[in-house]
């Protein structure tokens, strides 16, 4: 058990909970790009997982927590499951399988804009083996509202996961997200809180910062090297201003956050693509990341991004570990 888990359990231990309080672990699974991370953010009401239109955006199991009076739901956003073509893709599939073990509810997402395909059928087979209630979500409903193509897809989804309740949603505009949350809570077992009430994610700050930086580059490098980029945050320094120097207990407010990040590509030839024409890509993505991080920290942020090469990191187990996968 990690230190954080223990702390969290102790924090929740002596709280008065209403009778019938429910809690549990809920896995969000689905093909790449169906909207799992968008849905997680909508359920939690805060951005905890990065989103992009590049399939294969999420690489780690990201946890997001919803705490209400009657329930605490711990969601796990997983990498989109796909036919493994690289060591990275195989690792990502393992992450999903590991996280299906011992979950209380599975939320299986399909994208009704793209349509149900062989990838969904492959994944439905995995989901049917899990011994937990399944909710089947037909996401991106906003794109096919009143479209005659929608009903047959809902029927197909019901065939793929026969025991599941079917819920059309739009993670983007929020349609049915509340309905889905009610169904999830109803499917959870009774149990105590696991995390403190104000926690929305257990993701370490350094990892989330790296994810935000990666998100901004993903969108810009979509056509050239979406999967070749990894981001590592080397250091975060919070620099306080002490407005009361006489008070030894006053730590001061944080005035500036200095962040050093490295972007790793697989080959020398890819460095130029990340940097862009006259440094435009590096600069624009950096600015966008800095703005979002400033809002997150509530302080001015200096973001220093260096582009580095980790030769063929997607194929190298040692490098994968070093980059956090």
Binding site for ligand GTP (CB under 6 A): 30, 32-38, 51-53, 55-58, 79-80, 139-140, 142-143, 170-172
Q: Which of 27, 38, 153 is nearest to 98 (CA)?
A: 27
Task: Mention every residue, 6+ apart, whose C-beta is less than 8 A from residue 24.
Answer: 73, 74, 103, 104, 105, 188, 189, 191
Nearer to ligand GTP, 12 or 79 (CB): 79
Nearer to Mg ion, 23 or 314 (CB): 314
Please list every residue from 4 through 43 that binds Mg ion, using CB under 5 A: 36-37
Nearer to Mg ion, 57 or 153 (CB): 57
CB of 261 to ligand GTP, least distance (A): 20
Nearer to ligand GTP, 32 or 133 (CB): 32
CB of 57 to ligand GTP, least distance (A): 4
If one asks whether residue 78 binds Mg ion (CB under 5 A), the answer comes out as: no
Nearer to Mg ion, 61 or 116 (CB): 61
CB of 174 to ligand GTP, least distance (A): 9
Please list every residue from 239 through 268 that binds Mg ion, using CB under 5 A: none
Please list every residue from 40 through 59 that binds Mg ion, using CB under 5 A: 57-58
What phi, psi does 264 have (nearest 5°)?
A: -100, 130
Residues in the chain, overall count: 325
Element housing 216 (H / E): helix 205-221
- 3-class SS shares of the chain: helix, strand, coil, % to 5: 40, 25, 40
What are the C-alpha distances in Å from 134 to residues 80, 163, 188? 17, 7, 11
CB of 145 to ligand GTP, least distance (A): 10
Other CB atoms within 10 A of residue 180 CB:
22
Nearer to ligand GTP, 71 or 88 (CB): 88
Q: Using CA atoms, how far apart are residues 98 and 258, in angstroms rounded to an integer?
A: 35
Tell me which of ligand GTP, Mg ion, none is bound by residue 270, counting a contact when its beta carbon lies within the kind-specific cut-off of 5 to 8 angstroms.
none
Tell me which of ligand GTP, Mg ion, none is bound by residue 314, counting a contact when its beta carbon lies within the kind-specific cut-off of 5 to 8 angstroms.
none
If one asks whether residue 139 binds Mg ion (CB under 5 A), the answer comes out as: no
Tell me which of Mg ion, ligand GTP, none is bound by residue 228, counting a contact when its beta carbon lies within the kind-specific cut-off of 5 to 8 angstroms.
none
CB of 324 to Mg ion, least distance (A): 16
User: The tokens of 33 are what?
Assistant: 């790009």
CB 313 within 8 A of CB 266: yes
CB 60 within 8 A of CB 79: yes
Other CB atoms within 10 A of residue 244 CB:
9
Q: Using CA atoms, how far apart are residues 177 and 183, in angstroms rounded to an integer?
A: 10
Task: Mention every residue, 6+ apart, whose C-beta is less than 8 A from residue 262.
Answer: 231, 232, 234, 305, 306, 307, 308
Nearer to ligand GTP, 142 or 238 (CB): 142
CB of 259 to ligand GTP, least distance (A): 23
CB of 106 to ligand GTP, least distance (A): 15
Residue whose beta carbon is closest to ligand GTP = 80
Nearer to ligand GTP, 71 or 221 (CB): 221
Binding site for Mg ion (CB under 5 A): 36-37, 57-58
């Amino acid at each position: 058990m990690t230190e954080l888990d223990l702390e969290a359990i102790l924090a929740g231990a002596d709280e008065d909970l209403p009778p019938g309080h429910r809690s549990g672990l809920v896995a969000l699974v689905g093909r790449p790009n169906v909207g799992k991370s968008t849905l997680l953010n909508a359920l939690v009401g805060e951005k905890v997982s990065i989103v992009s239109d590049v399939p294969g955006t999420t690489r780690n199991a990201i946890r997001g927590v919803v705490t209400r009076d009657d329930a605490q739901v711990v969601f796990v956003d997983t990498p989109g499951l796909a036919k493994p073509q690289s060591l990275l893709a195989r690792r990502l599939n393992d992450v999903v399988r590991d996280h299906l073990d011992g979950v209380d509810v599975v939320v299986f997402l399909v994208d009704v804009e793209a349509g149900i395909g062989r990838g969904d059928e492959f994944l439905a087979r995995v989901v049917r083996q899990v011994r937990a209630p399944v909710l089947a979500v037909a996401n991106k409903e906003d794109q096919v509202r009143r479209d005659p193509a929608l009903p047959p897809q809902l029927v197909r989804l019901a065939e793929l996961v026969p025991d599941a309740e079917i819920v059309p949603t739009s993670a983007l505009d929020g349609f049915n997200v509340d309905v889905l949350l009610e169904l999830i809570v109803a499917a959870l077992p009774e149990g105590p809180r696991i995390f403190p009430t104000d926690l929305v994610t257990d993701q370490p700050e350094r990892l989330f910062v790296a994810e935000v930086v990666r998100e901004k580059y993903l969108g810009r490098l979509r056509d050239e090297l979406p999967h070749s980029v990894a981001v590592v945050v080397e250091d975060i320094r919070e620099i306080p201003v002490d407005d009361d120097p006489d008070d030894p207990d006053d730590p001061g407010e944080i005035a500036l956050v200095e962040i050093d990040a490295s972007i790793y590509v697989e080959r020398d030839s890819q460095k130029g693509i990340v940097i862009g024409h006259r440094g435009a890509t590096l600069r624009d993505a950096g600015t966008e990341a800095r703005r979002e991080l400033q809002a997150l920290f509530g302080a001015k942020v200096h973001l220093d991004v260096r582009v580095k090469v980790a030769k063929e990191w997607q194929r190298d187990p040692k490098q994968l570990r070093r980059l956090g996968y």
